[in-house]
Amino acid sequence: MFFTKMQGLGNDFVIIETMTQRFAPEPETIQEIADRHYGIGADQVLLLGPAIGADHDFTYRIFNADGSEAEQCGNGARCVARFLFDRGFTTSPKIRLKTVTRVIVADVLPDGRVKVDMGAPVVGNPEAVAMRLDTQGLIDKAPFYELTVACRLISFCPVSMGNPCAVIVTQALDTAFVETVGRALSTHAVFAAGANIVFVQKTSADTVKVRVFERGAGETLACGTGSSAAAAFAVTHLEVTSPVTVQTRGGELRVDYALGQNLYLTGPAGFVFNGSTE
């Protein structure tokens, strides 16, 4: 099996294409590939396949390091678009990718960055992230919800970017309880399918800082859907203006978003190395 390792601001991926080879994405196999000590090492494993319909160019599946399948990955979308274009699987810089929930469009820009149409975010709707509103201890202050996790009362806003996110506002991102609260809330029964937990701090009129605990992967250096969710939330509730500069631990992303419209995520996508396994 041939693979390519790529990264988007340190959010790293193993990309496997199935246009010229076969690969069965069993959970145990994904875990072995993603293992940083005994495998290749990655936050997610990305599987590319041929189109199965007229509304897209390639299929795009996302698997977390624990073997679970995710609905969406913005940094991954940028990387697979660069991969497909640079490796000659397409001659068009505009590439339609079918995930398990929607078709997204990635545009490889002349400067090497990739701009992704992430679709329209859904901010504040618990149904969009499959929340269980009858969860014991959940306090409904829609569009915010409060819940005690890791011995702390947490206020969060549900945001869907095609995958479920919960946004938590903090005034001290560097010391936020990302590991403990993020781990507990990402797998809490309040979310039927789990959620990415997004911690956001507004730092200026057009800038936010973000840290994300991704379900199935833990805290990553950057998270495209988490950054998108943070920006959509910030424009909606924190009076942040678009374009939004999102500062992650791995670097900066640009998000363009107007209320009620699709959201666009722009950032780098870098090659790390190619390899093969038996």
User: Residue 175: which residues within 8 A CB-CB, separation 6 or more?
Assistant: none
Tell me how far apart the alpha carbons of residues 84 and 19 are, in angstroms, rounded to a whole number.
11
Distance CA 160, CA 181 (A): 19
CB contact at 8 A, 43 and 24: no
Residues 6+ apart with CB under 8 A from 26: 67
- Asked if residues 210 and 253 have their Cβ atoms less than 8 Å apart, the reply is no
Q: How many alpha carbons fall within 13 Å on the CB side of residue 234?
A: 32
Provide the pLDDT for residue 245: 98
Cα angle 183, 186, 190; round to 5: 130
Which pLDDT score is estimated for 278?
Answer: 77
All structural domains of the chain: 2-116+267-273 (3.10.310.10), 122-266 (3.10.310.10)
**pLDDT, position 199:** 98
What's the CA gap between 78 and 118, in Å, rounded? 11
Query: According to the model, what pLDDT value does residue 158 have?
Result: 98
d(CA 110, CA 121): 27
Helix locations, 24-138, DSSP H:
27-34, 74-86
Q: Per-residue pLDDT for the chain (278 aa), expressed as one digit of tens each?
A: 999 999 999 999 999 999 999 999 999 999 999 999 999 999 999 999 999 999 999 999 999 999 999 999 999 999 999 999 999 999 999 999 999 989 999 999 999 999 999 999 999 999 999 999 999 999 999 999 999 999 999 999 999 999 999 999 999 999 999 999 999 999 999 999 999 999 999 999 999 999 999 999 999 999 999 999 999 999 999 999 999 999 999 999 999 999 999 999 999 999 999 999 87
Q: Tokens 């990955």 map to which residue?
A: 73
Give the integer Cα–Cα distance in Å for 93 and 239. 34
- Residues classed as catalytic: 73, 223
Q: What is the pTM of this model?
A: 0.95
Is 186 within 8 Å of 195 (Cβ atoms)? yes
Rounded Cα distance, 83 and 106, in Å = 12
For residue 155, list its beta bridge partners. 146
Q: In this structure, what token pair is assigned to residue 58?
A: 């390639």
Rounded alpha-carbon distances, angstroms, from residue 110 to 31, 101, 107:
35, 29, 10
The pLDDT value given to residue 109:
98
| Tokens standing for residue 54 | 């007229």
